[in-house]
Amino acid sequence: MQVKVEKATDLPALIALRDPLYAALLKAKGDITAQAIAVQLDRIVEGIEMNEGV
């Protein structure tokens, strides 16, 4: 999973990995870390969408 995230070259590629990334983080680091990173990714996406007027 780490390699896939590192190779994600744009935001849509990273967004596509959100659910598998969450599952991997949940297993490896626990619920608090997995949720924190998912929330950060969601905030980034929301901020970009707001700036683009989507």
For the residues of 1-54, what is the DSSP string, one character each?
A: -HHHHHH--SHHHHHHTHHHHHHHHHHHH-HHHHHHHHHHHHHHHHHHHHHHT-
pLDDT digits (tens, 9 = 90+) for 3-38: 888 888 888 898 899 999 999 999 999 999 999 999
C-alpha to C-alpha distance for 4 and 7, rounded to whole angstroms: 5
Q: Which structure tokens are listed for 35? A: 């949720």
C-alpha to C-alpha distance for 7 and 50, rounded to whole angstroms: 25
Confidence at 45, pLDDT banded by 50, 70, 90: confident
Q: Answer whether residue 54 shows pLDDT above 60.
A: no
The residue with greater pLDDT, 16 or 54, is 16
pLDDT at residue number 8: 86
pLDDT at residue number 1: 84
Say what the pTM is.
Answer: 0.78
